[in-house]
Amino acid sequence: MIVNIITLFPDMFSGVFSESILSRAITNGHLSVRIVNLREYGLGSHRVVDDTPYGGGGGMILKPEPIAGALEDIPERGHVILTSPRGRLFRQADALRLSSLDAVTIVCGHYEGVDERVSELFVHEELSIGDYVLTGGELPAMVIVDAFVRLIPGVLGHDTSQSGDSHYEGLLEYPHYTRPREFRGLAVPEVLLSGNHERIRAWRKEMSVMKTREMRPDLLDKSPGGTPDRDDA
C-alpha cells in the first residue's frame, strides 16, 4: 500500500509514522509513505499557497495551482481524498474499502477551505472524521490512515484480531478482562472462565448489543449485527 499525504505541516507526521503499528507496517513492507510539503509547490519567491476568496468573506483559501502541482508530481497517487469538515463522515466501512487499494493520496485541507476546482479535477471523495472543525486536515489524515492501514492483511500480525473491534460489524465492542480474576471487589464474569467457546461467543455478542444500545443506540438501526440472535457462524 502506498500512502501519499500533501500537507503544509509535514513535521506533524514524523511521530505518527515512526511509532507503533504504522511504523511496523513500514518496516515489514506493508506500507510506503510519502509526505509532500505543499509549500514547495507554492507560487513565486515567497511560495504562496493561499489567497483571499472571490466574493469576499473572512479567511484564506488554498490556491489550486500548488495542490495540482503536488498531485501531478506523485507517480502513484491512486485514490485521492480531501479532508474537509463538509466531507462525508468517515466510517469503519470506509476504512475497510480503502485498505484494499494499492495507493491512496490525502490532501490536507487548511485555512478557510480549498479552491473548489481541486475537488472537481482531482478529488475522488471528501471525508470528515466528525461534526466539528479542526485547525487543519492533518489530524483527520492521521486518523484515516491509521484506521485503514491496520486492516491491511498482515499488518496486525493476527488477521482475526480486528474482527471484534467496535464498528467492525456495526456494533460496539464487548467488554474485555485480563488478570487478576478479581480487582477491587469486581470479578471477571464466570462465563469467560468456563472454557465453553459457544457460551463465550454468545455472551460477547449479547454484551456488544447491550453496550451499543447503551452508548450508541443509533447504530442498532444501521447494523446488520444489531439483532442478538443473528447467526455469525
Task: Just list the catalytic residues.
Answer: 85, 112, 150, 165
Phi, then psi, of 33 in degrees rounded to 5: -120, 135
Q: Give the whole-angstrom CA distance, residue 71 versus residue 73.
A: 5
Q: Does residue 148 contact residue 92 with C-beta atoms inside 8 Å?
A: no
- Which of 168, 106, 190 has the alpha carbon at shortest distance from 142? 106
Whether residue 102 contacts residue 128, with contact meaning beta carbons closer than 8 Å, is answered with no
Angle at 157 between CA 152 and CA 163, to 5 degrees: 65
Cell of 23: 511504523
